[in-house]
Structure 1
């Protein structure tokens, strides 16, 4: 191999090594919150490793290329499955929405909620101006719990089901209550997590875990997690409440670009369920309409 070929081989080898480090680092959220931040780009990192593995093969790094190709297929396949799996049918409709604290199209959002006709609505960033939407929906959703939040507003749960008296409470970035419908009785939690590392998501999760641990029985957990569903922080929350993600995973944050959507809003339920996207309607997040199974 001539000098130029050797240089290309070294360059591709270094690039492949860095891509693998980035990909594997996304599995280390249990060790440090940085791992969860890297998990957001797991799909992109898997594609990068796949492309560089092909390049490494042509550069003569066949053993490294083979191992990297298997790694990319395994990790990328998990992400692809999350986006492709449709989820099972369910019994109750849940409308999940980060409203955006400065929403300028509340009328469209109200119309979309009424058109979807869910039994439960979970909201985040319910600011003072956004309370007008809740007031307008009082006729259809008389049971409403609104909790205080950060400067952008707090979480809320709206429902036309019967609320079990004395079960409503607010927590660190969450609103929760228990509802009863026929023989069914289950918890509903609306959650808004902080941004991930280097911000305070990991600390907030530590505060929320003992709260969710006290909720026994079937549950629905919905909200703006500011994190992908396969990250350690989200898995810890869903595991302690014993809920499963509805499918498929959907790109919901459109604040950067409609072409680059982050899958950071989710709906979980005890027996999973299926979910479809709804419009933005004045927000930088798409809504989710989930059919949850309990």
Structure 2
């Protein structure tokens, strides 16, 4: 009996590790969810391998244990290499507070509470996704955030929305693919003479054929002709460790705003997956990121981030 259980553990762990190492061969869209769960799977594989060792499969189980731990460490390396470098802030640096939150499109019962949370947050910028529950509160929000893209501004539709205390220039609502329209809101703001590009993105799920990768490539294609710092945030439906997410961050010379908290599913709490992100150009200084403590009826937790914008012109920054 013990031998059979040990063999079953070794088989399951071997299959799990095989699926994870396929990322080194190609980015298979069918494994998109697996790649986002890479750390979770690696930890479970390590526990399974350890159980196999205890049950008697010492040699092969130990080999699988080492492999699982190696995958887990590699996953942490993937996350670490897109972490921001901490800089001393130059004189004249201004700090922006951002809230980014997928509030769930049918979450109408909590629309008023979410609107109150946004106003009381003191954020300079707010990116909202599936924003239909906020439609009745647009006028209330406009008192604190007079500048907006989405939900009656630029487009009538309420899905992706940018709220800002600062004037927005060149506001747009764009499609990332033909799968869904109006999933990218963009605009520019002036921060101490620096033009900062804003992008609120709602990317399709990774199991919708190859749309997830294609939409990230479309987002990059929009960003590249527009030099200057970017703040890109939203619901990416994938963890930053996924291959196409890593390619996006490297391609556009961006970083996270710190070690990212889990945001989905809400019932998993800290053991969930960080599929909502705040990315910034390396010319900006990411100061912090945190999860909004309450989900307000959504299936995602929201994020708050602080981003420092150095002043325009030559400057000396110590690392």
Structures share fold, TM-score greater than 0.5: yes
Deviation at 1:258, TM superposition (A): 5.2
Give TM-score, length-normalised by structure 2: 0.77
Partner of 1:208: 219
Cα RMSD (Å): 3.0
Deviation at 1:87, TM superposition (A): 8.1
More strand by percentage: 1
Residue-by-residue CA offset, 1:170-204 (whole Å, 9 max, x unaligned) = 22221011110113321111010111114542343
**1:15 aligned to 2:12?**
yes
5 Å-filtered alignment, 1:159-238, equals 159-164=164-169, 167-172=170-175, 173-199=183-209, 200-238=211-249
Which range is displaced more, 256-265 or 12-21? 256-265
SS of match in other structure, 1:135:
helix
Measure the CA separation in 2 of the matches of 1:258 and 1:8: 31
**1:154 aligned to 2:167?**
no
Residue-by-residue CA offset, 1:37-78 (whole Å, 9 max, x unaligned) = 21122122111221232234342442x444433332233235
Q: How many residues align?
A: 282
Which range is displaced more, 273-282 or 94-103? 273-282
SS of match in other structure, 1:234:
helix
**1:249 aligned to 2:260?**
yes
SS of match in other structure, 1:236:
helix
Deviation at 1:131, TM superposition (A): 2.3
SS of match in other structure, 2:28:
coil
**1:277 aligned to 2:281?**
no
Partner of 2:91: none
> Relative to 1, partners in 2 of residues 1:244 and 1:18: Cα closer, same or farther, differing over 3 Å?
same
> Relative to 1, partners in 2 of residues 1:245 and 1:107: Cα closer, same or farther, differing over 3 Å?
same
> Relative to 1, partners in 2 of residues 1:95 and 1:78: Cα closer, same or farther, differing over 3 Å?
farther
Q: Could you tell me whether the CA contact under 8 Å between 2:289 and 2:303 is conserved in 1?
A: yes
> Relative to 1, partners in 2 of residues 1:171 and 1:28: Cα closer, same or farther, differing over 3 Å?
farther
Residue-by-residue CA offset, 1:8-47 (whole Å, 9 max, x unaligned) = 453333222112113324x359532123221122122111
Deviation at 1:158, TM superposition (A): 1.2
Measure the CA separation in 2 of the matches of 1:13 and 1:290: 42
Residue-by-residue CA offset, 1:191-246 (whole Å, 9 max, x unaligned) = 10111114542343343331122232111111011111111232233333322112
SS of match in other structure, 1:21:
helix
Unaligned runs of 5+ in 2: 88-93, 176-182, 310-319
Give TM-score, length-normalised by structure 1: 0.83
